[in-house]
Amino acid sequence: MIAVGRLQMRAKLSDLEFKSRPKEDEPQMESTPISKTRSPGLELDIRGRRVEEGLSELTTFIDQAFLSQMPWVRIIHGKGTGKLRTAVRKSLKNNQHIAAIEEGKDGEGGAGVTVVKFHDS
């Protein structure tokens, strides 16, 4: 996790590049550990959204949920044509902070819901 002011982003160590050490007269940046952030809630409802819009909201929500150290969240994408559900699940499978994803149980919305479980941080 890289934090510059209020901007935070994830990057792989292999994506980072070491430039050079600052000169003695240049001010040095201090690093501070990222603390637990405010919870975004247990659910994200993106039913009826276009795929691009839904994935944008999903990314923000997942980042906030992980940073707030939530153990799991529920994504409500609906059943519809299945395009949004497929895109959501594909996106979630590529996230390194997610331990498991599963379809909602019958009482949770079934195929219209995806439950996301995070790795312990």
DSSP 12-77: -GGG-----PPPTTSPPPPP-PPPPPPP--SEEE-TT--HHHHHHHHHHHHHHHHHTT-SEEEEE-
Q: What is the CATH number of the domain that holds 86?
A: 3.30.1370.110
Task: Count how many domains the chain has.
Answer: 1
pTM, whole model, 2 decimals? 0.66
Determine, yes or no, domain membership for 27.
no
pLDDT at position 105:
87
Determine, yes or no, domain membership for 11.
no
Determine, yes or no, domain membership for 10.
no
The one-digit pLDDT tens for each residue of the chain (121 residues) are: 777 767 777 888 887 777 766 666 556 666 666 556 677 889 999 999 999 999 999 999 999 999 888 899 999 999 989 999 999 999 999 888 899 999 988 888 888 999 999 987 5
What count of Cα atoms within 13 Å lies in the side-chain half-sphere of residue 85? 16
Determine, yes or no, domain membership for 61.
yes
Per the structure, the complete domain to which residue 111 belongs is given by 36-118
pLDDT at position 32:
60
Determine, yes or no, domain membership for 66.
yes
Determine, yes or no, domain membership for 112.
yes
